[in-house]
Amino acid sequence: MGASTEPRRCHCGTRLASDNRGTLCQACLKAAQNLATTPPVVDSLFWRTSAMTEALASHDIGKVIRAYRTHGAHGRDISQEIVARWLGITQPRLSAIENGAPVNNLDRLTDWAEILAIPDDLTWFAKPRGVQVAEPASIEKYDFEQESWESTIDVLKRISRLDQSSLSDNTLSVVELVVDDVVGRYELEGPFKLAAETSIAQKFAYRALANGFQPERRRVRLLQTTAKLTGLLAYMAVNASKEKLALAYCAEATALADRAGDNDLRAWIRGTESLAFYYGGDYLSALDAAEDGTRYGSASQHIRLAVNGVARAAGKLGKRGVVEKAVDHAYTLLDREERAGASATLSPCISFEPYTRGRAAANAATAYLSVGQVDLVEQYINTVDTSGSSWSKTLMGLDAAAAALSEKDASKAMTLGVEAISASREHPIASAVKRGRELLTATRNVAGTQAVEAFEHELDQLARNANRRRDAQLPG
């Protein structure tokens, strides 16, 4: 009789099924998958180990987080990347917190303690309980100029403490307001500041989905809002040159939109996937994603898919006929959209609402530039009111500069290029840097002139600002 084979077991001790080719049981596998968005549920003994007790006694949240990540109860260490996502910060920032001076900011300590579910009796700082109502200041002594206004995230943190087991309609309304607030502030403040706030709201929404019963109507709203927050992170990642992260966020947002049954949201996400492929240089995939997106949603989303997705990708592929057809289709749909069709202003680039005529024209100009139809580039640019968007001033200004260069007017092109970059120097995005570099490459036949050197200097400064902001603040 042959020797018996020792059964394979998961690290938790559970015997693995014969058809399980992995190393984790089903319960541990599900827990590992959930770690990507939500900390695990731990028992009271988790906090009583010698390593954790020592970390808590240090009154240093960095040491506590490291002890949490490396706790034996997890089976294996949790990476800094995963924990950083929970906390709404970057991995380099978490590394600095674990290895640097203790954090003393009460709001951050409170937020992170709540995310990790550190018991109140083990914290070394006073955690707020419920809504704290401050003594009102005398109106005569109140300095309105110096007072720092709260953000919608601050309100969300405070009101969420009222909800113990399930999400109320009031709290969900505040989460929805965060979406609107981020969209409205995006072109003034950019992805590098707003990504952290959006990530905090997204994680809150995920915890609400996982914890507590939600009536069906409210759960659908929560799924839609979580999908939008995730979609916003995807768009921000594109603007920060993190195209692969953007595609991962898009896959996540699609899963949420599918569960919510929201076809307009599916279409918007496919449009953002197209944008990620476009700025990643994969124009065929960008075209495919935009065309596929038209299977979902209504005409309001198809405007964006046509002119921002299909037309621009087709332009990069040299498909003039496809560009013309897509732009014509977008304008036909615009004629049917009473809210957007007549406006020459630029709707927010990150908005879930229909494109305005101004936003469509800006994208049409970029598409026609790629196929060399300079007259149409200028025609569309001249119909756009860019007064409310520094990024659009930059992007459209660079298109106008490229059009001038194609007509052999290098001096005018470089002047327009410098003016364009200066419009968003303090709030740069990766797409502006990419387009500026394309213009600089096109000047190779006039390189060495003073105008080109001035433009190159401005572009280098824009790129440095974008890289510094990206590395310092964007999650992931």
Rg (CA), the chain: 26
Per-residue model confidence (pLDDT) at position 142: 37
Q: How far is CA 105 from the centre of its chain?
A: 25
Select from 125, 120, 126, 119 the least CA-distant residue to 46.
119
Per-residue model confidence (pLDDT) at position 291: 95
Per-residue model confidence (pLDDT) at position 427: 72
Backbone angles phi, psi at 345, to 5 degrees: -75, 165
Contact 443, 413 (CB under 8 A): yes
pTM, 2 dp? 0.63
- Return the CATH class of domain 31-122: mainly alpha
Each of the 476 residues of the chain gets a pLDDT tens digit; together they read 445 567 788 767 778 777 777 776 776 666 666 666 678 878 888 999 999 999 999 999 999 999 999 998 887 889 898 898 888 788 888 999 999 999 888 878 888 888 888 988 899 987 554 433 333 333 343 343 444 455 677 666 665 555 544 678 888 899 999 999 999 888 878 887 788 889 889 988 888 887 666 778 888 999 999 999 999 999 999 988 889 989 999 999 999 999 999 999 999 999 999 999 999 999 999 999 999 999 998 888 999 999 999 999 999 999 999 999 999 999 999 888 755 445 667 778 899 988 888 889 889 988 998 898 888 888 888 888 776 677 777 887 888 888 887 777 778 888 888 888 887 777 777 777 888 888 888 887 665 577 788 888 888 887 777 666 554 444 43
Domain ranges, ordered by start, for the chain: 31-122, 151-261, 386-476
Per-residue model confidence (pLDDT) at position 141: 39
Contact 133, 152 (CB under 8 A): no
Phi-psi category of 281—alpha, beta or left, where left has phi over 0 and alpha has psi -120 to 50?
Answer: left
Transcribe 144-173 into DSSP letters: TTTPPPPPHHHHHHHHHTT-SSS--HHHHH
